[in-house]
Structure 1
Amino acid sequence: MTLATAASAVAGYFARVVVTPVKERVEDLEILAVVKGPEGDEVILPATDETVVDGTYGLHFHGGQSFARIGPITSFTPRDGTIARRVEHVVGGDLRTAVRGWWSSVSHLTPEDLGFASEEVRIDLPGGTAPAWYVPSTNPQAPLAGRGVWAIMVHGRGGTRQEGIKALPAAAELGVDSLLISYRNDGEAPAAPDGRYGLGVTEWEDVEAAMQYALDHGAEDILLFGWSMGGAICLQAADRSPLAARIRGLVLTGPVIDWIDVLAYQARALKIPEPVGRMTRWFISNKAGRRVTGLASPVDLKILNWIDRADQLHLRTLILHSIDDHVVPYGPSRDLAQKNPMVTFVPFARARHVKEWNHNPERWDQHVRAWVEALYTRAEPGQIGPEATSSADLDEIEAADDAD
């Protein structure tokens, strides 16, 4: 095999992975033991970049059929490379019999698990009907109660509507109704005809359908919440939907602001040479690459680049993003806020990818509540600065910039 042929094969494989939905999750975390602690069961895990971070997370095991909510760290043994964490709740199996699983930002499987009553509803998407959870506001004293504000929660690549559950406490405090949606290729909604992700270029139509559902059921204003690729989807909905005038603002956590930047970063992380990385992006964005990727239509990566399009974003936008995100680098989120005064950037530290709420729910909730309230008052949502960022966060950002 020639060097050019090998490079093309690698680029083609990487391109297919990017646009192909995840069917099965890899159980890449060893479960070492479950022991009795002073406050109940504790699970012993390898100390990894993910498991050593404080907060509340999910541990899926038995091929995803079982789930455990994992809470605070109870002990850490650096010498052995292990960490113990409290087991808060187990569903569908016995964690003591599990040997492997995967770590997740999903810490609750249903809204009821977090104390919120929900209704299962169906939304008519372009490809068929899809399930969603509707969670009504029940606090008449909340600042936005009775104003017809709905929050539509859009999960990320490889995720499900469960990702939006973490935003429900903030939504309840605000007094807004919530709609946690599924969309094409996520395993709950109908698959796209080509069975491929559009990275936001196609999925926005499903968000538009959810917006129409909300408007048909009493919504006056809409807030779009998006995580990771869900952020890219929300940005496309705000840019392309005829219903965009009904969107009051965007709340994006760990969002993909520029797919070109994300793909280049992931190629470097995989030690893929830059020319091969460029070929990967060419396969995704050109008609000739469809035979390799399986896409029905190429993905225009340029319209997914909101750094170059910063002046075209006309909606108030809040971005919450950890500076150590190892999947979607935070740089474009910061840069967009610097280029567009409509955007507020709130950095987090140590939260990794889309786990900002898991690591520090009080901080996430506080910033979301304050920012959304400001949208409906004379107050002006703040920009990056002391009002949105602690001095410790700024120090870490400056250190990260120096490292770049």
Structure 2
Amino acid sequence: MSLRAKWTLGGIIAGSAVASTVAAGSSALALYFARRVITPSRQREEDQEVLAVIREDGALQIILAATADSTLDGVYGLYFDGGKGHARIGRIISYSPSERTVLRAVEAVYQGNLSAARRGRWSGAVYPDPAAAGMAAEEILIEVEGGTAPAWLIRAAPEATTWAVMVHGRGATRQEGLRAVRTARDLGLSSLLISYRNDGLAPSANDGRYGLGSTEWRDVEAALEFALANGATEVVLFGWSMGGAICLQTADLSRYRHVIRAMVLDAPVINWVNVLAHHAELNRIPSLVGRYGQLMMSHPLGRRLTGLAAPVDLKSMDWVSRAVELRTPSLIIHSVDDEYVPYGPSATLAEKNPEMVTFEAFSRARHTKEWNVDPLRWESLVRAWLQQQLAPRLNPGQGLSPGTG
């Protein structure tokens, strides 16, 4: 063999080895990405630094490191001490860009010793339970696959026949829906704030993995069955983030979809492919590797690697492509600066199906915090839109009564 041939062969072997190493590394990264998406996290990072808690003129105040979240106007929850503590943080009193600190009012400390906190987790969930929001609730259990799922039932009136079923997002809990209960009650709706598989309250799925809406909708269906068995004749679904994707699947697949009068979706996942590509980019994962991760989740052969009991059909949850198939009136509220779920698919869905979908854009609210930034606007939008959707329906051939018009 000539020296040139040896060099050529050596180059091919070396190149193949490098290619194999790169391919193996890409596969490992794709698998890591896929597992991060579908694996519930039991402990969320406390990434908000707490610098001091002071009392000024009898009022409690908190000094925080300035972050994209802590410098937004509005009212928020702050979890601390591994989630054992919970405080309601109010208005901005002062902000120092040079020192990168912000001073805010503390409206309430529900649990824990805030003065001892050094770090916390910023949240849109303002209240820890219905009592903190000034509402009486029943703690009930809903029969779901694998056991029972706890829920709060907040009745508007004993005779209320329209119920709001509230579906929280990925990594959140039923506390998320407490922001919407007062608006629902003002409209005469009883509210059912549910838990669902893998959220830490409801039974875990057999595979312990998120279905991104493709499996969780069955637990919402169980909630609809409970509502119908306890006096409801129709429901309004409220969903935040992945909870929005779950609501869309429920309206599409549930045997009770005919009783879903309307949906209110806050920062919903309309297209998982878009969201996953966005997160791959945020985490500096090459787009091809990100798409490989999606393939692992959606292909039957990926189950052994991801741990999923069944592949996740991402295409069936692309409501931009399926826009004309959505036949449930839906109000979508989404901030244009959402850092977690891009708002583009929400706006596009409304453009493609304006008959069914109303889109309302917020700004400076980031992810699922539209109510927190501007509760008056959020509540007035939802109230006005639902009043239209819940107006009494006319029977065929029935005209308007005298004096109406």
Out of 206-215 and 129-138, give the one that drifted further.
Answer: 129-138
Q: Which residue of 2 aligns with 1:374?
A: 388
Q: Which residue of 1 aligns with 2:202?
A: 189
Q: Does 1:322 align with 2:335?
A: yes
- What stretches of structure 2 of length at least 5 have no aligned partner? 1-19, 394-405
After superposition, where does 1:9-88 map in structure 2 within 5 Å?
9-38=28-57, 40-88=59-107
AA of the residue aligned to 1:321: H
Question: 2:140–2:151: 8 Å Cα contact kept in structure 1?
Answer: yes
Alpha-carbon separation, structure 2, partners of 1:146 and 1:132: 20
Question: 1:147–1:220: 8 Å Cα contact kept in structure 2?
Answer: no
AA of the residue aligned to 2:68: D
Partner secondary structure for residue 159 of structure 1: coil
Partner secondary structure for residue 44 of structure 2: coil
Alpha-carbon separation, structure 2, partners of 1:83 and 1:376: 43
Offset at residue 8 of structure 1 (A): 0.8
Question: 2:152–2:194: 8 Å Cα contact kept in structure 1?
Answer: yes
2:224 to 211, 216, 232: 211
Q: Does 1:355 align with 2:369?
A: yes
Partner secondary structure for residue 31 of structure 1: strand
Q: Which residue of 1 aligns with 2:237?
A: 224
Q: Which residue of 2 aligns with 1:137?
A: 156
Instruction: Output one character per residue of 1:214-273: Cα deviation in whole Å (capped at 9) or x when no partner.
Output: 000000111000000000000000000010001001100000000000000111111111
Q: Which residue of 1 aligns with 2:359?
A: 345
Q: Which residue of 1 aligns with 2:7?
A: none
Question: 2:110–2:128: 8 Å Cα contact kept in structure 1?
Answer: no
AA of the residue aligned to 1:185: N
Question: 2:213–2:242: 8 Å Cα contact kept in structure 1?
Answer: yes
Alpha-carbon separation, structure 2, partners of 1:279 and 1:313: 29
Alpha-carbon separation, structure 2, partners of 1:199 and 1:221: 25
Q: Which runs of 4+ in 1 moved over 3 A?
A: none
Offset at residue 343 of structure 1 (A): 0.2
Out of 278-287 and 89-98, give the one that drifted further.
Answer: 89-98
2:129 to 93, 110, 125: 110
Offset at residue 95 of structure 1 (A): 1.0
Q: Which residue of 2 aligns with 1:4?
A: 23
What percentage of aligned pairs have identical amino acids? 53
Q: Does 1:167 align with 2:186?
A: no
Alpha-carbon separation, structure 2, partners of 1:50 and 1:98: 18
Q: Which residue of 1 aligns with 2:271?
A: 258
After superposition, where does 1:214-293 map in structure 2 within 5 Å?
214-293=227-306
Partner secondary structure for residue 156 of structure 1: coil
Q: Label 1:90 to 1:183 Cα distance change in 2 as closer, same or farther (>3 A).
A: same
Q: Which residue of 1 aligns with 2:323?
A: 310
Q: Does 1:121 align with 2:140?
A: yes
Instruction: Output one character per residue of 1:327-366: Cα deviation in whole Å (capped at 9) or x when no partner.
Output: 0000000000000021000111100100111111111100
Question: 2:160–2:190: 8 Å Cα contact kept in structure 1?
Answer: no
Offset at residue 39 of structure 1 (A): 5.6
Partner secondary structure for residue 284 of structure 2: coil
Offset at residue 176 of structure 1 (A): 0.5
Instruction: Output one character per residue of 1:114-160: Cα deviation in whole Å (capped at 9) or x when no partner.
Output: 1111000010012211100000004xxxxxx9551000000000010
Highest Rg: 1 or 2?
A: 2
Alpha-carbon separation, structure 2, partners of 1:308 and 1:172: 35
AA of the residue aligned to 1:357: W
Out of 102-111 and 89-98, give the one that drifted further.
Answer: 89-98
Question: 2:160–2:231: 8 Å Cα contact kept in structure 1?
Answer: no
**What is the Cα-based RMSD across aligned positions, in Å?**
1.3
Offset at residue 378 of structure 1 (A): 7.6
Question: 1:154–1:224: 8 Å Cα contact kept in structure 2?
Answer: yes
Question: 2:62–2:105: 8 Å Cα contact kept in structure 1?
Answer: yes
Out of 321-330 and 31-40, give the one that drifted further.
Answer: 31-40
Partner secondary structure for residue 178 of structure 1: strand
TM-score by length of 1: 0.91
Alpha-carbon separation, structure 2, partners of 1:69 and 1:98: 14
AA of the residue aligned to 1:24: Q
Instruction: Output one character per residue of 1:28-51: Cα deviation in whole Å (capped at 9) or x when no partner.
Output: 111110112246111111111111
AA of the residue aligned to 1:59: L
Alpha-carbon separation, structure 1, partners of 2:304 and 2:160: 49
Question: 1:122–1:130: 8 Å Cα contact kept in structure 2?
Answer: yes
Q: Which residue of 2 aligns with 1:384?
A: none
Q: Label 1:39 to 1:372 Cα distance change in 2 as closer, same or farther (>3 A).
A: farther
Q: Which residue of 2 aligns with 1:397?
A: none
- What stretches of structure 1 of length at least 5 have no aligned partner? 139-144, 380-404
Q: Which residue of 1 aligns with 2:115?
A: 96
